[in-house]
A and B are shown apart, each in its own frame.
Chain A
């Protein structure tokens, strides 16, 4: 029973940091994604410091220009600096995308766990409602909500939340059904824990691995929906730049100045890619079995 422990007892924080570092070395691609996402976040946060121009300032003389020292990523049809507009657009897009994903994750997981844990008619009611939402194509649901409630920041967040919420509910429900049969849930009941406590403290952390991976994917998707909505004119009202509106604006001149749409499109790609890479890494980091 007694083992000789030769390694000096490391303090907990140090061992956590060390294992994270080991994880980072093991998973280079995710680390790359994380660095990329952090850079994008920083760029969005410090947009006013980085942007060379006012994103709203029009300069008709310099319209539809290609890259130059003055305009790093060219200008749009009003002569506004694309690079500055992307930086500011990222702020809006990220804020909408991440807020709605976080909301959908919390609400969707809560609904999914309750449905899975309680079973019976509660399960049926919750999941049939989710199926109803899933039956509509995401864009249609989003479009409907924004069209009825009006296009502003809160309604767009709401629309995106509602469209991706059922996906979280589904993902949370399945493992909950499996987990509630596990002995540790029975042990928790034997310790006098209430159902609410078991669901929130004992079941929720067990499914977080799967949920977080999905959250990163759906965050990317949420950012795309925001772009779609803006693209068809139901996004945040102009002149506030968002990545979707910028892509749409460029479409009028897609043949003679394709870069007006391409650069914001590329920004969407980078955000989505980095989020997906981060998601994979997070899954490994959260699962204690892989934490070593």
Chain B
């Protein structure tokens, strides 16, 4: 059993809305193992992105953070801004959803890939530029030398996302956080980018935390899946277990919303909506939309222990 690369313990994130603290993320815990792809899934507004951001403490000062994010010996949440800057981009990197706007429009691709190398690795600009060329080869951008001198607007969306990946990988980070990296891309490019990320993960031995709402993506790349609902983690487990034997009513409902080639069933939407952050129900946050009922639903369920764990009273002792 290898020890986890990063341990997230009882993480909670609150924002002040109308003079009242609202918990956008409510005490979630999970581990990131070395060389794995962990997918965090959930519908819009369930707290996936801010969870990812909090791993690098990239949230605005107005957010109140609780719990701990242990990276090695250090708790990311208690590091100073200065210490965080040393970790960000060099040991943990992040790629974003919108490749169209995530690159600086007035700097060349080469400059943008070389900059983290100069900053974090102390390389000279010329050495960093040579390394940038290798990185473009790594993310399989043809004609790398020419691309280095080009500006982001001269590249297609898929190319730009590859450049983003190259920038993220520049300093050989241990963890790459990808926040919906393929949402803005069309399906063929999406498949290419996912395959690329998968290959790079295997070659470089890094861990990828992928935030997505696309279960197709999850099935393709994930080793482990964490399902989030309304700021809480409702189920985690190996990808096979989640897809073949989903346990939590929300996961089950979520899977019924996606057509599958290997099973025929009626697609059905999940009725209702995610409750607004100011008015979260007591106890299990999914209970108002849940078909199953249990006498304990008014009390917040805890994730059960074990590799495939679920937070649901109706499944207690079952998983």
Contact = CB atoms under 8 A, between A and B. Distances in A.
B164 A187 contact: yes
Nearest to A15: B149
Interface in B177-195: 192
B270 interface: no
Interface stretch (A88-96, A164-172, A178-186): A178-186
Nearest to B170: A191
B85 to A, nearest CB: 4
B86 interface: yes
A108 to B, nearest CB: 20
Contacts of A202: 104, 107
A183 B106 contact: no
Contacts of A201: 107, 115
A192 B87 contact: yes
A288 B94 contact: no
B239 interface: no
B172 interface: no
Contacts of B149: 12
B124 interface: no
B143 interface: yes
Interface string B76-111: 000000001111111001111110011111110000
B56 interface: yes
B151 A190 contact: no
Nearest to A286: B106
A206 B104 CA distance: 8
- How many A residues are at the interface, by size bracket? 20 to 34
A288 B116 CA distance: 23
A189 B89 CA distance: 8
Most chain A CB inside 10 Å of its own CB: which residue of B56, B84, B93, B102: B102
B208 to A, nearest CB: 15
A9 interface: yes
Contact of A288 (B95, B142, B153): B153
A184 B103 contact: yes
B58 A192 contact: no
Contacts of A186: 58, 96, 102
A2 B58 CA distance: 37
Contacts of B86: 192
Interface residues of B, number: 37
Contacts of A197: 119
Given A184-B101, A194-B85, A289-B105, A189 B146 contact: no
Contacts of B116: 191-192
Contacts of B256: none
B98 A183 contact: yes
Contacts of B98: 183
Given A9-B146, A12-B149, A183-B96, A190 B58 contact: yes
Most chain B CB inside 10 Å of its own CB: which residue of A182, A191, A291: A191
B106 A192 contact: no
Contacts of A191: 88-89, 93, 115-116, 119, 167
Given A2-B142, A187-B94, A193 B89 contact: yes
A194 B88 CA distance: 10
A9 B150 CA distance: 13
Q: Return the 8 tightest CB-CB contacts between A and B, nearest first.
A: A191-B89, A192-B88, A192-B89, A190-B94, A192-B85, A183-B101, A183-B102, A205-B106
20 contacts: A1-B192, A183-B101, A184-B102, A186-B58, A187-B94, A187-B103, A187-B167, A190-B56, A190-B58, A190-B94, A192-B84, A192-B85, A193-B119, A197-B119, A201-B107, A202-B107, A205-B106, A206-B105, A289-B105, A289-B153
Given A191-B93, A201-B107, 16 more contacts: A1-B192, A2-B142, A5-B143, A9-B146, A183-B102, A186-B96, A186-B102, A187-B95, A187-B103, A192-B120, A193-B115, A202-B104, A205-B107, A206-B106, A288-B105, A289-B105
